[in-house]
Amino acid sequence: MNGSRGSQPTIVDVAARAGVSKSAVSRVLSGTGRFSDETRERVERAAAELGYVANAMARGLVSGRTHTIGMLVRDASSMLYTALHAVMEQRASELGYRVVTTTGVGRVEDEKSALASLVSMRVDGLVVCSGLLPSADIAEFAPRIATVVAGRPELHPALSSVYCDEVDGGHRIADAVADAGHAVVVVLTVPLDNAITQHARSTAMAGRLRGRGVTAIDIDASFVRPADDIAADVVDVMRESGATAVMCPTDRLMLDVCDALAKRGVSVPSDVSVTGFDGVYPLANDWIGFTTLQQPVDRIGREAIDLVIGRIDDPGRAVEHRSLRGTVLPGRTLLRR
């Protein structure tokens, strides 16, 4: 069967065309073993003429390696994951690996199946970037596949991880607010089961504020709540308490809240100061001017890849947890009182 119909040419087609055995083709194309220049030339020409692309499945099936790292992201439209994705892709390619990405579409079940799908592809390593999936579901595969959790604090004993120090970050941005002289501050908090990272940072913010004698008022910012409802609460609380600042667990929510506040006649920052968290392009930009905590996304992504590949090369390597500190990105949305 030659490539005349729909199917892809195989190594046998190339061998026939080149007039050599399929073993020879395999050696030439994978650059292993010995072969004459003549053989090499014939094989390469035949392969090119046929538009031959090796079947990674067959190859992986026998070699047991795919040179591929699977990346699970929570939400393809989140700028943070998107930024991580870009960094990892870059770093992996420097190290001779390919990255394939899958995502759940928001529900835990989907993420589980997305992860299983990566496992079924027998990727050499796994990088999980999702604050949603429970540790246990990830750890299940860790004994068999090099696995690293990126972007969330994950202290499971079987999983390595690289993440932004959420507590430190929450403290720093809270310090910025306290330093600016705000005495009553609204903190939008996210429940633990919504997103581990966001819960951690909002808790840290509120804690630090209180530790500094600032009155911190929590408002529930569960994912199910429309930003508009949250903004309504913020307005009410501001009226009752005289709060002068609002701290958000993400830049994204910050944007929605600013928008909703504006529609209720409350303008940022003249009526109220607002801070965010994440600090990823494009929202982290002077012109937009968000005051936020910038996560060290470049380092997180790069080190995550280095960690997985390290474990691929040496499965016995010890589990590591790397906590990286972010920095406050000053902007126009936080005013001195």
Partner DNA sequence: TTGAAAGCGATACCAC
Partner DNA sequence: GTGGTATCGCTTTCAA
Q: What residue ranges bind a second copy (CB under 8 A)?
A: 3, 6-8, 51, 53-61, 64, 66, 75-77, 79, 82-83, 85-86, 89-90, 93, 98-103, 105, 110, 114, 116-117, 119-122, 140-141, 143-144, 252, 255, 258-259, 262-263, 281-283, 285-288, 315
Out of DNA, a second copy, none, what residue 32 binds, judged by CB under 5 to 8 A for its kind, is: DNA
Q: Which is nearer to DNA, 30 or 222 (CB)?
A: 30
| HSE-up (13 A, CA, CB side) for residue 238 | 20
**How far is residue 207's CA from residue 170's CA, in Å, rounded to a whole number?**
9
Identity of residue 138: I
Map tokens 């027998």 to a residue. Answer: 122
Are residues 14 and 43 in contact, defined by beta-carbon separation less than 8 angstroms? yes
Find the shortest distance in angstroms from Cβ 121 to DNA.
12
**How far is residue 276's CA from residue 288's CA, in Å, rounded to a whole number?**
12
**How far is residue 25's CA from residue 14's CA, in Å, rounded to a whole number?**
7
Out of DNA, a second copy, none, what residue 209 binds, judged by CB under 5 to 8 A for its kind, is: none
Out of a second copy, DNA, none, what residue 324 binds, judged by CB under 5 to 8 A for its kind, is: none
**How far is residue 17's CA from residue 201's CA, in Å, rounded to a whole number?**
62
Out of a second copy, DNA, none, what residue 105 binds, judged by CB under 5 to 8 A for its kind, is: a second copy
* Residue 106: strand, helix, or coil: coil
Q: Which residues bind DNA (CB under 7 A)?
A: 7, 10-12, 20-27, 29-30, 32-36, 38-39, 52, 54-55, 58-59, 61-64
- Helix 22-30 × helix 37-50 angle, to 10°: 90
Out of DNA, a second copy, none, what residue 282 binds, judged by CB under 5 to 8 A for its kind, is: a second copy
**How far is residue 81's CA from residue 327's CA, in Å, rounded to a whole number?**
18
Out of a second copy, DNA, none, what residue 195 binds, judged by CB under 5 to 8 A for its kind, is: none
Find the shortest distance in angstroms from Cβ 210 to a second copy.
30
* Residue 105: strand, helix, or coil: coil
Using the 8-state DSSP alphabet, how is residue 77 labeled?
T
Q: Which is nearer to DNA, 8 or 77 (CB)?
A: 8
* Residue 323: strand, helix, or coil: strand
Find the shortest distance in angstroms from Cβ 28 to DNA.
8
Q: Which is nearer to DNA, 55 or 267 (CB)?
A: 55
Find the shortest distance in angstroms from Cβ 128 to DNA.
22
